[in-house]
Amino acid sequence: MQIKLTSVTNCQEINILGLSKDELLSLILDFETQPKRASMRVNQIWSWIYSHGINSFDKMTNIDKKLLSKLKKVFNISTPAIEKKEISNDGTIKYLFCLEDQSKIETVFIPEEKRSTLCISSQVGCTLNCSFCHTGTQKLVRNLSSQEIVGQVIAVYDDLELWEKKRMRSNDTSCFEIITNIVFMGMGEPLLNYEEVKKACSVLMDNKGLDFSRRRITLSTAGIVPKIKTAHEEIGCMIAISLHATENKTRDILVPINKKWNLEQLLGSLRDDVQLRNSERVTFEYVMLDRINDSKEDAHRLVRLLQGLPSKVNLIPFNTWTGSQYKRSSSDRIKAFRDIIIKSRLPSPIRRPRGEDIMAACGQLKSKSIKEKAST
């Protein structure tokens, strides 16, 4: 995307948070025409924003004052506003953010023993209509911009005062006090908003800033097959596939995008097109729905489907929501299912539901404001 200053001089300021380095450079070149100096300014601004958490030009003390006063007039560095913050009994925190156009999205901070994961959204709502997913019942309003995707991360850094902790723990990747992992498992389908997600990842991964390694960012997709290989090659992050069924007739209902790209196409493409790197595995997410997809036959079929593909299966006990037609599988059925998968030597952890009491668990996100609006 080429951002031209002339196109916005009469409108409001440009939010530079979440722009790529190239985009930022093209903007700064309007003020600092000498390319080397412009590039130096970009690096300085970048470091203030993404290493120090500074969101005010006035605090960028190594930048010439005259230049700063010009920058201040046309640019801002702003994050989505926190409209509501809920803290679960288990320490999970759910944020409801209000965007500039008043759309609402949710983001979840999940502290664990040795790491903390931030689950971020890529769209307002979702178009995929997976029948077990609460977000799917909310109509899609729009894609998020890279600014709004990166903005969720920065807003949580600010709110939880993580900047200082991050600086002190820069070499420590097993720490629950800072965000160690980012997952695109909030609202929306990241591969249907590919360009903005890719740009946001380039900002999150930049080693002069937030410096998330590609192994610590996971993009979860319901199976937008043609984009999986591209994302794996271009973004380089970890890929998780929402599989949820072992037969097309069941998957067509649970994950309707299966009617466009079915199990054979999805797994075929993962086998043939995606070049996994050293020791890399594809994560398959499998929601455990009572008597729908949790039989021993399903487990055996799953093992057969994944044969020869370096995989890991995350079993997710279904998180319920009002109006849902499904029930969570009993823990006995989940364990029996897991035992079959483990016998085939596939890692198969059962995901502990987090933040259920505040509707922050997997698939429970849906911004109430939009629901209320729809019902009026």
Assess 189 for contact with ligand SAH (CB under 6 A): yes
Q: Which of 159, 216, 213 is nearest to 184 (CA)?
A: 216
Residue choice 105, 156, 299, 316 for contact with ligand SAH (CB under 6 A): 316
For the chain, what is the radius of gyration of the CA atoms?
22
Segment interacting with ligand SAH, rule: CB under 6 A, options 101-109, 137-145, 231-239, 315-323: 315-323
Q: Does 285 bind ligand SAH (CB under 6 A)?
A: yes
Q: Does 200 bind ligand SAH (CB under 6 A)?
A: no
Task: Decide: 115 and 82 in contact? Cβ < 8 Å.
Answer: no
Read off the amino acid at residue 79: T
Does position 222 bind ligand SAH by CB under 6 A? yes
Q: Establish if 132 lies at the interface with ligand SAH (CB under 6 A).
A: yes
Q: Which of 220, 311, 329, 367 binds ligand SAH (CB under 6 A)?
A: 220
Long-range CB contacts (within 8 A, 24+) of 4-7: 5/30, 5/74
- Rounded to an integer, what distance in angstroms lies between the CA atom of residue 267 and that of residue 285? 14
Respond yes or no: is residue 362 known to be catalytic. yes
Nearest one of 96, 118, 238 to 177, comparing CA atoms:
118
- Among positions 103, 242, 258, 293, the unique one binding ligand SAH when judged by CB under 6 A: 242
Contact window for ligand SAH (CB under 6 A) among 58-66, 125-133, 269-277, 339-347: 125-133
Query: 345 to 364, contacts with ligand SAH by CB under 6 A?
Result: 362-364
- Phi, psi angle pair for 76, to nearest 5°: -140, 170
* Encoded tokens for 82: 């926190």
Closest CA to 63 of 42, 94, 84: 42
> 97 or 132, CB closer to ligand SAH?
132
Angle, helices 331-343 vs 296-306, to 10°: value is: 30
One of 106, 148, 189, 196 is an active-site residue; which one?
106
Of 318, 334, 341, 367, the one binding ligand SAH (CB under 6 A) is 318
Residues in touch with ligand SAH (CB under 6 A): 130, 132-134, 185, 189, 220-222, 242, 285, 287, 316, 318-319, 362-364
